[in-house]
Amino acid sequence: MASIEGTILDFKRLDQLARGGTSLHRIDARAKVLVALVFILSVVSFDRYALTALFPFFLYPVVILALGNLPADYFVKKVVLFLPFALAVGMLNPLFDREVVVRVGSFGVTGGWVSCASILVRAILTVSAALLLVGVTGFPEICRALERLGVPQTFAVQLLFLYRYIFVLTEEGARSSRARELRSFGGKGLGIKSYGSLVGHLLLRTWMRADRIHMAMLARGFTGAFHARHPSRFGGKETLFLLGWSTLFLVLRLRNVSQLLGSLVTGTFP
Amino acid sequence: MSHHLVEAVHLRHVYPDGTVALRDVSFRITHGESVAVIGANGAGKSTLLLHLNGYLTPTSGVVRVGDQSFTKKTLPEIRRRVGMVFQDPDDQLFMPTVYEDVAFGPVNLGLSTAEVEARVREALERVGAAHLRDRPPYRLSGGEKKRVAIATVLSMAPDILVMDEPTNGLDPFARRRIIELLKDFHHTRIFTSHDLDMVLELCERTIVLHEGEVRADGPTGEIFRNEGLLAECSLEKPLSMQGCPVCGSSGKQEAEGG
């Protein structure tokens, strides 16, 4: 539990980064959320064998990383953590799809390998886009932006609470797990059975905590509506940001820029 | 003045599982009083507190705040007037930043942005936490969390302050700070605590709960000198009233005067 908290759910660091003061941080969260959404949609809508056409899209994470003054190594490490999941999805493609699509000298590359690589590249692009979005916006701001973009309030508030209590819950889980470990003396303890009641207790405790939080909210006049603070404006800068990036993604989506560049260099325009 | 009054008349509460938490509790707390509710674990302290802002409804009997009893209509107003600080600040601080948490109550009251800002600033300054305003709650220490939790209630300008175990889990310095802070309040104050030394310092009046009933109600000094009563209710004299274990000298004298 503690290791999960330490690695994948290292939101605390992301949260700190999100409070940076670059001009990118100051752009209205809605524009950033929409741009990230257009980016992800463009990337995932490519044909399964697309590979070269995906590379120009790396421009976006690189620019955001630079403009947001974010530590590249931190984000690379986070993205790498997600790669095994993408690999698990694409792993079997080379076995099923054995048709040779590209020949490099005498070596034939099958469609399976190309689509597997495509899945990996897409995973890197989409995961880094999502992480960077949190890194320059902050999770609470994203929730609020979603709400202002028309996502039902209940859903946005759920996300907000999930984010607030994920720390409390992981800590509680880690404590229970430690208590079990300390009394099982290196052995398996009571095996899987003890985990059953451990998770059950965690659920009940979470339930009771939810009850107490609700109590605290009622005590302060909660009536079911969350009120937004300092409504930021969706102005010219935001429109420019949104239109600029969206146009770029659209062009990159419809024209294979890598290939165009390649043909320019080799002088063989199609 | 009368709206600072808290009164319980033959209050009885039975939980749905049949546990009788409060048998028969009556008391009347008037304006500006500082009252401690003490008792062993399971004596009914927390259940009693939850009645004071209408979270629980009495099985029988009445609770009144000011001259109002609890109805659906008076409930929002009563909840504003009774500021309740819970035992675990993690339950109370649920917003992404300290500022938003302290603003939660005033915003729900429908105050203007400028007014909310002023209330938040004042409440945070009052508890000495102005520098924490943009921090997320999970980055605060235990003492800071507690002080911010108090600020979330102060920002609603309550008449009555109800606190469950205000000094629980704090280091001696943080505990001292909270006590000094609470000393300065002129609200009607109601505390539950096992920290009897704090009670001795903060409360002139003490109500002892025992198995869901008021076992004693009177001046704090008098109650703490009644050793028979304390033993019967699984309590003990505050440390400052006990003899010194090293030099053998007797405890605090000021309490003797009542």
Q: From residue A240, how far is each of A35, A136, B144 by CA, in Å?
A: 11, 18, 42
User: Does residue B256 belong to any structural domain of this protein?
Assistant: no
Q: What is residue B55's three-state secondary structure?
A: coil
- Nearest-CA distance B239 → chain A (Å): 32
- Nearest-CA distance B141 → chain A (Å): 14
Q: Which two tokens stand for residue B102?
A: 């302290």
Q: What pLDDT does B258 receive?
A: 40
CB spacing of B96 vs A213 below 8 angstroms: no
User: Does residue B139 belong to any structural domain of this protein?
Assistant: yes
User: Does residue B250 belong to any structural domain of this protein?
Assistant: no
Predicted complex: ipTM over 0.85:
no
Q: What pLDDT does A8 receive?
A: 46
User: Does residue A261 belong to any structural domain of this protein?
Assistant: no
Nearest to A221 among B55, B95, B105 (CB): B105
User: Does residue B117 belong to any structural domain of this protein?
Assistant: yes
Q: What is the mean pLDDT of residues B27-52?
A: 91
CB spacing of A217 vs B109 below 8 angstroms: no
Strand partners, B38: B208
Plot region of A268 (φ>0 → left; ψ -120 to 50 → alpha; else → beta):
beta
CB spacing of A219 vs B84 below 8 angstroms: yes
CB spacing of B156 vs A221 below 8 angstroms: yes
User: Does residue A85 belong to any structural domain of this protein?
Assistant: yes
Cβ atoms of B132 and B93 within 8 Å: the answer is no
User: Does residue B252 belong to any structural domain of this protein?
Assistant: no
Q: Which two tokens stand for residue B238?
A: 């505050």
Cβ atoms of B125 and B163 within 8 Å: the answer is no
Q: What is the mean pLDDT of residues B224-241?
A: 89
User: Does residue A265 belong to any structural domain of this protein?
Assistant: no
Q: What is the mean pLDDT of residues B38-50?
A: 90
Q: Which two tokens stand for residue B191?
A: 């505390």
Q: Widest CA span of chain B, in angstroms?
A: 60
Q: What pLDDT does A2 receive?
A: 46
- Residue B177, domain extent: 2-241
Over residues B198-232, the pLDDT tens digits come to 999 999 999 999 999 999 999 999 999 999 999 99
Look at residues B87, B69, B85 and name the one whose alpha carbon lies nearest to residue B77. Answer: B69
CATH number at residue B76: 3.40.50.300
User: Does residue B246 belong to any structural domain of this protein?
Assistant: no
Q: Which residue has the higher pLDDT, A44 or B255?
A: A44
Number of domains in chain A: 1
Nearest to B91 among A140, A163, A213 (CB): A213
Q: What pLDDT does B251 receive?
A: 65
User: Does residue A263 belong to any structural domain of this protein?
Assistant: no
Q: What pLDDT does B3 receive?
A: 65
Q: What pLDDT does A229 receive?
A: 59
Number of domains in chain B: 1
- Nearest-CA distance A190 → chain B (Å): 31
User: Does residue B219 belong to any structural domain of this protein?
Assistant: yes
Q: What pLDDT does A1 receive?
A: 41
- Nearest-CA distance A123 → chain B (Å): 29
Cβ atoms of B227 and B244 within 8 Å: the answer is no
A229 interaction partners in chain B (CB closer than 8 Å): 99-100, 103, 107
Over residues B116-167, the pLDDT tens digits come to 999 999 999 999 999 999 888 888 898 899 999 999 999 998 999 999 999 9
Q: Which residue has the tokens 């689509």?
A: A115
Taking any CB pair shorter than 8 Å as contact, residues of chain A touching chain B are 12, 15, 19, 138-140, 160-161, 163-165, 167-168, 209, 212-213, 215-223, 227, 229-230
User: Does residue A269 belong to any structural domain of this protein?
Assistant: no
- Residue A177, domain extent: 2-225+234-256
A15 interaction partners in chain B (CB closer than 8 Å): 136
Look at residues A120, A118, A158, A124 and name the one whose alpha carbon lies nearest to residue A139. Answer: A158
User: Does residue B48 belong to any structural domain of this protein?
Assistant: yes
Mutate one of A159, A220, A222, A232 to test the B interface: name it (highest B CB count within 10 A): A220
CB spacing of B109 vs A221 below 8 angstroms: yes
Per-residue pLDDT of chain A (270 residues; tens, 9 = 90+): 445 455 545 667 887 888 888 888 888 889 999 999 999 999 999 888 888 889 999 999 999 999 998 999 989 988 888 889 888 888 888 888 888 877 777 787 888 888 899 999 999 999 999 999 999 988 888 888 888 888 888 888 888 888 878 777 877 888 887 777 777 766 666 667 777 888 888 888 888 888 888 888 888 888 777 766 556 778 888 899 999 999 999 988 888 877 788 887 777 655
Q: What is the mean pLDDT of chain B?
A: 88
Q: What pLDDT does B147 receive?
A: 92
In what side-by-side order are the strands of the sheet with B82-85? B68-69, B60-65, B6-14, B20-29, B213-219, B205-210, B34-38, B188-192, B160-164, B82-85
Q: What's the rounded Cα separation, in Å, for the pair A230 and A248?
A: 31
User: What secondary structure does DSSP assign to A190-256, as a single string?
Assistant: TTHHHHHHHHHHHHHHHHHHHHHHHHHHHHTT--S-PPP-S-----HHHHHHHHHHHHHHHHHHHS-
Q: Which residue has the tokens 């920002």?
A: B155
